[in-house]
Amino acid sequence: MRFIFFLAILFVIAAIQLWRGKWTFLIQGYSSLSPKDREAYHARALGKLTAIILLICAFSLCLIALNTRYRFPWVVPLAMALILISGLGGSVYAKTSKRFKAHPTDASLEAEPAFKRANQWALFLCLSLTIGVGILFFFGSQQPKVQISKDSVSIRGLYGTTIDFSDVMSVMLIEESMHDFGTGRRLNGFDAGTNLLRGHFEQGLLFVNAKSDVTLQIRRWEDPPVYISFKKETQTKELYDDLLRHITEAEEKEEPPAQQIPEGN
């Protein structure tokens, strides 16, 4: 959350500088033009437009950061939509509006194709970034897929792992949500402000729906514990019963048969 706020502050600082007519190297399309071609455009007007886009992005980032605490499901899609619409809309507006051209001279006509090409690349990068973030959110929002074999349990998906039964210290069903139990600080995980938490937190390795009232805890001998919970509590309980049964069967197979003491003559 601190990193997101830090990024938002950087966006605000850049927006202030662009509004003042400085830091024009941040203007998409314009910065790639030659000094001669730049004379055909109003740098101050382009700077103000870019400043507005950056302020919208900063506001959206603050929404995402605050939502890691309040967890409203509609906040992240709203913030992503604001970033996408402002970025794409601003690029199209800068490319088509005449208010950004200084004067219709030969220089502006020569610079226009280069400016359009630069904007096309900026649009491509914006779309690529949005699609990449969308893919991350898609995989991060999927329910964990758990597969149990005769000697291990595998968790598929983002931050997935495989746990051998020999590494399991205990398996416990906690009648409490991860939200109430506490996750601690996020170390290397996925938390976009929704109830779906994935990855490494101070509490352990999480694959949980934070508001589910039942959580499966797998304590390991050497590594941090693993927590699993589904949206449906019955699914979590069924996984607990199935996992406990497989671990018990694996332990029984490993136990050596009892030696029989021969009776004395």
Residue 23, phi-psi category: left (phi > 0), alpha (psi -120 to 50), beta (remainder): left
Most confident of 134-138, 192-196, 239-243: 239-243
pLDDT tens figures, 183-205 = 777 777 777 556 778 888 888 99
Query: What span, in angstroms and rounded, lies between the C-alpha atoms of 20 and 22?
Result: 6
Residue 99 per-residue DSSP state = G
pLDDT at 124: 60
Q: What are phi and psi of 110, to 5 degrees?
A: -75, -35
Contact 211, 180 (CB under 8 A): no
pLDDT at 177: 84
**Which residues in the chain are classed under CATH 2.30.29?**
145-254
pLDDT tens figures, 77-128 = 788 788 888 877 777 777 777 776 665 544 444 445 555 555 555 556 566 6
CA distances from 89 to 26, 53, 81, 100 (A): 17, 9, 11, 15
pLDDT at 111: 47
pLDDT at 150: 86
Mean pLDDT of 27-56: 72
C-alpha distance across the termini of the chain, in Å: 78
Domain boundaries 145-254, corresponding CATH code: 2.30.29
